[in-house]
Amino acid sequence: MGVAWSACYGTLGMPRGSGWDRISGARVATFGAASSDKRWSARNEMKNPFMARAIELSLENVKSGRGGPFAAVVVKDGKIVAEGTNRVTSTNDPTAHAEVVAIREAARALGNFELAGCDLYTTCEPCPMCLGAIYWARPAKVYFANTAHDAAKIGFDDRLIYEEFQLPHSRKRIPMGQLMREEALAAFQAWEKKHDKVKY
């Protein structure tokens, strides 16, 4: 660990040679929409036991009432190392989406904040928050079942968030304003000077 991001990762921040560094910027820009890319199409894949497990977890989550109809598993070396289901309503945690929960559990199980060599199987295309978490965790690949459009049809529509990304702070649905930048820069400067920092 501690190696600069750009040294080990491609322009999109994913492991070189994993396939992610060959995906065009256009593919990433449309991650929130259904993809017709046959390389990633579930229709062209045989039934996958890891995705099947994630789907099973999502159904159990609905029946139990613990959260939304989403689940994810993290796989390394052909074995599931962590599972996660949506726990937003049962834990009163708006960040407890299935992918985030699975990433947290996997990082804890592996003792590492990077999921190098891992694959993430999720029952739906990741929302913007989960997509950000995925990029920070840096798994090798992500596989999804339902599309963002499928999720929107049952009330989980992320289009507003994608639209908000394009707006200046003053025009966002939740207005944002900058305060005390000069004072806050002190922590950044301290980080830059810290010789024993652990980069991530």
Percent of the chain that is helix, strand, coil (3-state, to 5): 45, 15, 40
Residue among 137, 125, 132 nearest 72 (CA): 125
* Residue 92 tokens, joined: 């009163």
User: 45, 60, 83, 99: which one is catalytic?
Assistant: 99
* Residue 132 tokens, joined: 């950000």
Q: Are 57 and 71 in contact (CB under 8 A)?
A: yes
Strand partners, 83: 73
99 is known as an active-site residue:
yes
Q: Are 121 and 48 in contact (CB under 8 A)?
A: yes
Catalytic residues: 99
